[in-house]
Structures are given as structure tokens and as C-alpha cells.
Amino acid sequence: MTPATDLIRLLIIDDHPVVRDGLVAILHQGEPDLEVVGEAGDGKEAVALWRQLRPTVTIMDLQLPGQTGVEAITAIRREDPEARVLVLTTFDGDADIQRALEAGARGYLLKSVRRAILIEAVRAVAAGQRYLPPATAARLVEAMESERLTPRELDVLALLAKGMRNREIAEALHLAEPTIKIHVNNLLRKLEVKDRTEAAVVALRRGLIHLEP
């Protein structure tokens, strides 16, 4: 048996029970140093369970009901700056990666990852290391090299992606229509696109915005 002091205690956060079941099976199979000590299906429950269990590593999805994964990571790290969180998600946009790492995640994986990589990442994060696969690191570099959007520009972008015109966006945000036109022009320039439709496509691809379920 693995000594208790050497066990990597895992908390799994995902809103799909079948995903949690699969992760438990994967992580327990032939890995005596890994032990799943808890599961949660939403962000608020995740923070409460982390506070109770104090796991070695928390495996966190980003798309969660009630409180997002990024918000849960932020809350956990606020209580313990040394808390180790590994993101496991379907979101592959550079903005998603950047938000998670800025919140304090130590690693970032997509759910399409192979079992061996997941286990390698868990052990690396448990040891206090960062874990970013090459493709993920490349997306992060892309985000760092691109010009950041302001919070107001992100507001405009989200409404633009819903098909709203400048006048409608202005009414929704309680701003003047000429101000919205300036924001839209800035968005097209920063995203390096030609029109509003392309801006929405690029924003979704990069994870700057997400379609509501």
C-alpha cells in the first residue's frame, strides 16, 4: 500500500455525473498513489467541499452551474494561495486558458486528452509544478501577443454576437450609439477581422465569449 503521506488526494468537479464516474475509474485504475476523496457538480459546492476535504489536487471543469470554474478557482485560491487546481474542460480558447491561469490554475487540459497525460498532469500539479501541453501553451502565447479587450468592449462583443445592431446595443448598455460605433471599430481592429460576423466567430473560437446553453 502507498503510505498515507504519499497519497495524492483528488477532488473532482464536473456537472456531468458520467464524466465524474469516468474520471474516478481512470484515476483509480492501477494508480495506488491516487485517491479520489470527493466529487461536486457545481462551483459553490466545489468550494465548500474543497474547504472540508483540503485535497492535494482539485480537477476542475470551467462550465459549471451556479458559479463558473474560474470563479470557484478564484474563491479557493483566495483562501489558500497554495491550493493546486488542474483544469479539465472542453473550452480550448486562448482567453479561456488565460482566465483560468490568472485565477490560479496550475494546469490546463482538454477532455480529449489521453489517460496517461491526465495522470502525468495530476502528479505534476501535486508536486507543485505547472502543466500545459504544447498546444495549450501555444494558444496562451497567442493570447499574450494579441491586444487585450476592455470589459466594455467584451460587453459590446457579447451583444454583437447575438446579432444586435448598434442602436440595440446602445440601449442595452445605456450608452450613446456613436460610442458603440467606436467600440465596434476598436473590436474589428483588435480582433483583426473585417466585419461583425467574423468578429463573433473569432470571439467564440478564442473563448472571449460563450453561447448561453
> What is residue 4's DSSP assignment?
G
Mean pLDDT of all residues in 197-208? 87
Per-residue confidence (pLDDT) for residue 5, from 0 to 100: 59
Q: Which of the four pLDDT bands, split at 50, 70 and 90, describes residue 137? A: confident
Superfamily of domain 4-143: Response regulator (3.40.50.2300)
Fold classification of 151-206 is: Arc Repressor Mutant, subunit A (1.10.10)
- The torsion angles phi and psi of 158, rounded to 5 degrees, stand at -65, -40
Q: Which of the four pLDDT bands, split at 50, 70 and 90, describes residue 140? A: confident
Per-residue confidence (pLDDT) for residue 38, from 0 to 100: 95
Q: What's the mean pLDDT when you consider all of the chain?
A: 90
> What's the pLDDT tens digit per position in 40-81?
999 999 999 999 999 999 999 999 988 899 999 999 999 999
Query: DSSP characters for 112-167?
Result: T--HHHHHHHHHHHHTT--B--HHHHHHHHHHHHSPPPPHHHHHHHHHHTTT--HH
Every domain of the chain and the residues it spans:
4-143, 151-206
Per-residue confidence (pLDDT) for residue 3, from 0 to 100: 54
105-119, 143-157, 173-187, 195-209: segment of lowest average pLDDT:
143-157
Q: Nearest to residue 152, comparing CAs of 129, 133, 174?
A: 174
**Pairwise pLDDT comparison (90 vs 143), residue with the higher score:** 90
Cα 109 to the center of its chain, rounded Å:
10
